[in-house]
Amino acid sequence: MIEVKGVTKKFGRKQVLKGISFTAEKGEITCLIGINGVGKTTIMNAIMALTPINNGQILINGEEIHKGSYEKITFIPDAITMLPQMKISDAMQFMDDFYDCWNQKRADEMLGFFKLDKNERISSLSKGNTAKVNLLLGLAMDVDYVLMDEPFSGIDIFSREQIAEVFTSHLIEDRGVIITTHEINDIEHLIDKAILLNEGVVLKEFNTEEIRENEGKSVIDVMREVYQS
Amino acid sequence: MNVNFNNRDPVYIQVIRHFKEQIATGSLEPGEEISSRRELANKLKINPNTAQRAYKEMEEQRLIYTERNLPSRITKDEQVLKAVREELILQAVDSFITSVRSINVPLEEVLDLVKENYEKHCDE
């Protein structure tokens, strides 16, 4: 389980996170929802300890993040971090050299799944294929938790469908996934839990099947209530 | 397989309904092997935990059965199969009644129209 407890974060005078708390279970897909600028990416960076937090605590399987945690959790940012002149195969080799948990077999399988050519250079990839390579590099690691920042943002419908397919496949297995999005339509039926954020606070945290079962509401119904009241 | 799920009913209940429809129409036969939970999630584009939940419920309702580690199968229990068929027919009739009632049609007229058009549908 990932536990985020009362996390606050200031950038200069701007309070970006104002006491965020939520949990994300292994074997579940947890979705952080909110319009741009509510602190979704900052939360991701905070979980990965890529940015120091001012207050609060973040635990992964009951422990604070340490060097060894990076073999248990990975972050897939919304833009590719590999050098543009690298081929896909170079990027894969880089990951293999850098991480013990790199799973070459799964990486090759994902190349096939996404129909990518490993000799293609990062610089010549379309937006959709860049997103797929990015996802491949993260998901080919044998980690317990995967954080994804806006994996569906700004790409074509067919790439979005293919990426959505990843969530229902064995590529996710029993891992815990945290995903951020500002568009819920594509993934409404794929997620277990939704966390609605606004201006650095959690407005509501709920299980999507439970809200449908107990209140007969769609995720969007709840978002309307929460954001427009 | 393309199923249009609505956003307001629990997905696992919609999955069960989908299976019941397939059983009643005969596209799934008694004793037929069904997809694994993961395959189903993938085919229907739903959360694997939801597929798991749907299978668990269907097992409890004895719609499907699983022997040891073998793939699950559709029930062969006549009672259960009969109940599924009756349930679906009743649901269809109920929704039909709701629609015609709202237009205030007398029962006799509705029955005549049903008889007339039921045959037409068969001919098509």
**Residue among A25, A29, A27, A31 nearest A60 (CA):** A25
> Using the beta-carbon criterion (under 8 Å), do B7 and A209 form an inter-chain contact?
no
Do A74 and A103 touch, CB atoms closer than 8 A?
A: no
Alpha-carbon distance of A205 to A186, in angstroms, equals: 19
Q: How far apart are CA B86 and CA A20, in angstroms?
A: 51
Question: Which residue of B6, B8, B15, B39 to mutate against A (max A Cβ within 10 Å)?
Answer: B8
In this structure, what token pair is assigned to residue B77? Answer: 């229990």
Alpha carbons A38 and A202: distance in angstroms, whole number: 10
Q: Residue A49 pLDDT > 80, yes or no?
A: yes
Mutation site, B4, B15, B35, B45, interface A, largest A CB count within 10 A? B45
pLDDT of B1 over the 80 cut: no
Does the beta carbon of A165 lie under 8 angstroms from any beta carbon of chain B?
yes
The overall average pLDDT reported for chain B is 91
**What are the boundaries of each domain within chain B?**
11-123
**Best of B35, B40, B47 to disrupt the A interface by mutation (most A CBs within 10 Å)?**
B47
Encoded amino acid at B69, one letter:
N
Tokens at A147, concatenated: 């954080």
What is the rounded CA–CA span in Å between residue B44 and residue B62?
A: 22
* The predicted structure's pLDDT at residue A71: 87
**Across A103-124, average pLDDT:** 95
In this prediction the ipTM stands at: 0.82
Domain residue spans of chain A:
2-228
Neighbours of A186 (CB within 10 A): 17
Helix locations, A3-50, DSSP H: 40-47
**Is residue A64 within 8 angstroms of chain B, CB to CB?**
no
Residue A154's pLDDT is what?
Answer: 82
| CA atoms of B57 and B47, how far apart (whole Å) | 16
Residue type, A110: M
A138-195 per-position pLDDT tens digit: 999 999 999 999 988 888 889 888 888 898 888 887 899 999 988 888 788 999 999 9
pLDDT tops 90 at residue A223: yes
8 Å CB contact between A91 and A119: no
Min Cα distance A225 → chain B (Å) is 15
Which residue of A170, A209, A212 is in closest CB contact with B38?
A170
DSSP assignment letter at A121: B
- Is pLDDT of B122 > 80? no
Structure tokens belonging to residue B76: 């062969």
Flag whether pLDDT at A36 surpasses 80.
Answer: no
Statement: residue B30 has pLDDT above 70: yes
Kindly determine whether residue B7 and residue A192, on different chains, have CB atoms separated by under 8 Å: no
pLDDT range class, residue B124, cuts 50, 70, 90? low
* Token digits of residue A138: 């993260």
Of A168, A188, A213, the CB nearest to B7: A188
For residue B6, the one-letter residue type is N
With residues binned 3-state (H G I as helix, E B as strand, rest as coil), the percentages for chain B, rounded to 5, are 65, 5, 35
How does pLDDT run across B34-85, given as a tens digit for each residue? 999 989 998 998 999 999 999 999 999 999 999 888 899 999 999 999 999 9
**CB of A25 less than 8 A from some CB of B:** no
CATH says A2-228 is which class?
alpha beta
Q: For all residues of chain A together, what is the average pLDDT?
A: 92
Measured distance CA(B116)–CA(B46) in Å, rounded: 41
Query: Which residues from A are below 8 Å from B48, CB to CB?
Result: 168, 172
Mean pLDDT confidence for A188-216: 94
**Residues contacting B109, CB < 8 A, separation 6+:** none
The per-residue pLDDT for range A121-139, each reduced to its tens digit, is: 999 999 899 999 999 999 9
C-alpha distance from A191 to closest chain B C-alpha (Å): 6
| Sign for the pseudo-dihedral over CA of B9, A193, B46, B12 | negative
Query: The domain B11-123: what is its CATH number?
Result: 1.10.10.10
Q: Closest approach of chain A CAs to the CA of B59, in angstroms?
A: 19
Could you tell me which residue, A25 or A174, shows the higher pLDDT? A25
Locate the chain A residue with the closest alpha carbon to B39: A169
Q: Is the pLDDT of residue B86 over 90?
A: yes
